[in-house]
Amino acid sequence: MEITNKDIGGTHTKPFDFTKTAWVQPFRSHETLSFEARFDPGEDLRGAIGFNIDLNADLSINLSWTAQEIDDEVEGSISGAMVVPRDATRGWTGLRVNNDDPIDADWTEMGWTVVNGQAPA
């Protein structure tokens, strides 16, 4: 995740790197993960994304997400979905959520990788 803050002082970008793991199985086939990064601690400007993960009978997973650019309120939001087949890896890069306010035109760019593989024995 990269948050770009655009103000009268210029344009400043801050990168963030997260790793989380979710385990789904036949008797627990749904999981959620969320990520949030603040441009500066104590400030409102932040990017956030939440994932819903659902295991299918063929061991593929449905992944849906909602990504947000937040300042004093939600300034922009994008939702989407993808299927990750069994024993496969899928990714997404370049998801950009904008604050369309011409004075406070910040944005957050996001990318992720999902590995759908069996847990080690």
User: Is 70 exceeded by the pLDDT of residue 119?
Assistant: no
DSSP string for residues in 71-104: SSSEEEEEEEEEEE-TTEEEEEEEEEEE---SSS
Supply the pTM of this predicted model.
0.88
Q: How sure is the predictor about 105, in pLDDT bands with cuts at 50, 70 and 90?
A: confident
pLDDT of residue 10: 80
pLDDT in tens, 11-39: 889 999 999 999 999 899 999 999 999 98
What are the residue boundaries of the structural domains of the chain, listed by start?
29-89
Cα(42)–Cα(10) distance, integer angstroms:
20
Chain mean pLDDT for the chain: 90
